[in-house]
């Protein structure tokens, strides 16, 4: 039987944002129709102007949106940079306490059926 006092509580905290997530976006024109975004010194995404609009990709080069104007493209990239989860997630995990070796094991007593004959 396990008692409540034999449980340990472990709290894990994970930061889901980085300083680059909140830094302002800076744009550099890489080519005639291509702009690269950086934030906090890290790559933040790009905008490529094509015949059908402005193609926006995030910091992992995943497509975000195709927009008609430059301003809409910038807004789409900024929106994609916002974290979906809170800045810090905390979860609690209960783990049973380990028992020492040999503890909690029933001893092997001689069976009454076995009798010593001498």
Q: How far is CA 55 from CA 12, 68, 83, in A?
A: 38, 9, 21
Greatest mean pLDDT range, 3-12, 61-70, 97-106: 61-70
Quick check: helix, strand or coil at residue 38? Answer: strand
The token pair that represents 108 in the structure block: 């092997």
Q: How many of the other CB atoms lie within 10 Å of CB of 111?
A: 7
Look at 12-16, 32-36, 109-113 and tell me which has the smallest mean pLDDT.
12-16
Give the integer Cα–Cα distance in Å for 108 and 99: 19
Residue 100 pLDDT greater than 90, yes or no: no
Size of the chain in residues: 118
Residue 115 pLDDT greater than 70, yes or no: no
Q: What is the pLDDT of residue 6?
A: 64
- Residues 28-82 pLDDT 10s: 999 999 999 999 889 999 999 999 999 999 999 999 999 999 999 999 999 988 7
């Amino acid at each position: 039987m396990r008692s409540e006092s034999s449980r340990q509580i472990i709290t894990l905290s994970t930061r889901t944002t980085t300083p680059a997530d909140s830094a302002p976006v800076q744009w550099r024109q890489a080519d005639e129709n291509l702009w690269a975004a950086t934030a906090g010194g890290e790559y933040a995404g790009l905008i490529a102007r094509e015949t059908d609009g402005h193609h926006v990709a995030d910091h992992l080069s995943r497509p975000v949106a195709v927009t008609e104007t430059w301003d809409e493209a910038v807004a789409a990239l900024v929106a994609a940079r916002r974290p979906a989860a809170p800045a810090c997630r905390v979860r609690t995990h209960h783990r049973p306490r380990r028992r020492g070796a040999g503890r909690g094991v029933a001893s092997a007593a001689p069976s009454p059926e076995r009798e010593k004959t001498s």
